[in-house]
């Protein structure tokens, strides 16, 4: 029995989220069917981070076990031949049995692409969030610093969240500007259900002047979801990878060079 790790990319707007669904429209459903077609037996997968409907992945990490002996090309090109066009295996690595895509991740990175314009752009639909309000990036950065560190993030937690604890650590929230686009990059040990989308909505209320910057810290301290902004659109949210013990030799995200890195990741 071998354990393999896949690097997966997908357009989340085509699926009902990562997790398997009764409809069969989860990314996991499609991937497990494709893997089974190549392995010749049922396959169960575990991912680094469960994404919601409409949320994308640039570098989702998935592991599975198989008795089948196949070349790397079969696990990539063979599996991709059985997948919808909106999802693809990009890389594969054989790892030892101690590897776990979810519990072994020490850091995760998500990126939120935001379009700033009085009028929405149809070519960015499903690819970027949008606001017609004037956003001050300096206020956005100042508000973001209030969330760095280890905190109880209950104020940004979905009522459907199943995590045992609301305590998470955010190592950094970076903001890059490129024309009418803002790219918010979140790095942390883990994130709660809807946590990033709730944070984005709250940061924007401070950045566009509807609330003072200090209000973001007050929301965090309240530990009450009722005080934060409504959950923001999933369109611009991308899971951009996870980091593991170096002994597993898995690719992760590279140096952050601003908004262009998001497009570079699609190459």
At a CB cut-off of 8 Å and minimum separation 6, what does 157 contact?
Answer: 163, 166, 192, 193, 194, 195, 198, 225
Closest CA to 100 of 253, 254, 248, 249: 248
Instruction: Give CA–CA dist 149/111, Å, rounded.
Output: 18
* DSSP H helical ranges for the chain: 27-39, 72-73, 79-80, 137-145, 195-207, 214-222, 260-264
The answer to whether residues 157 and 166 touch, using CB atoms and an 8 Å cutoff, is: yes
The answer to whether residues 30 and 87 touch, using CB atoms and an 8 Å cutoff, is: yes
Over the range 5-34, which residues count as b (16 or more CB within 10 Å of their CB) and which as e?
bbbbbbbbebbbbbebeeeeebbbbbbbeb
Instruction: Cite the active site residues.
Output: 52
Instruction: Give CA–CA dist 93/241, Å, rounded.
Output: 15
């Amino acid at each position: 029995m071998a354990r393999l790790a896949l690097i997966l990319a997908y357009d989340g707007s085509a699926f009902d989220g990562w997790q398997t669904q009764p409809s069969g429209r989860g990314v996991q459903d499609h991937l497990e069917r494709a893997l089974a077609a190549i392995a010749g037996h049922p396959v169960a997968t575990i991912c680094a981070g469960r994404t919601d409907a409409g949320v994308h992945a640039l570098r989702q990490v998935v592991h599975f076990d198989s008795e089948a002996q196949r070349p790397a090309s079969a696990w990539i090109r063979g599996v991709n031949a059985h997948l919808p066009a909106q999802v693809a295996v990009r890389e594969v690595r054989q790892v030892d049995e101690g590897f776990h895509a979810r519990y072994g991740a020490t850091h995760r990175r998500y990126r939120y692409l935001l379009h700033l314009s009085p009028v929405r752009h149809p070519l960015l639909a499903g690819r970027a969030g949008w606001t017609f309000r004037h956003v001050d990036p300096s206020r956005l950065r100042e508000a973001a610093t209030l969330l760095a560190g280890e905190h109880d993030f209950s104020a940004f937690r979905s009522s459907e969240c199943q995590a045992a604890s609301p305590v998470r650590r955010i190592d950094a929230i970076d903001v890059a500007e490129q024309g009418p686009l803002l790219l918010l990059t979140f790095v942390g040990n883990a994130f709660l259900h809807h946590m990033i989308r709730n944070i984005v909505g709250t940061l924007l209320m401070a950045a566009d002047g509807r609330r003072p910057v200090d209000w973001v810290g007050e929301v965090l301290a309240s530990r009450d979801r009722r005080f934060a902004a409504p959950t923001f659109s999933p369109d611009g949210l991308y899971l951009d990878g996870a980091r593991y013990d170096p002994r597993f030799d898995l690719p992760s995200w590279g140096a952050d060079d601003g908004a262009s890195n998001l497009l570079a990741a699609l190459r």
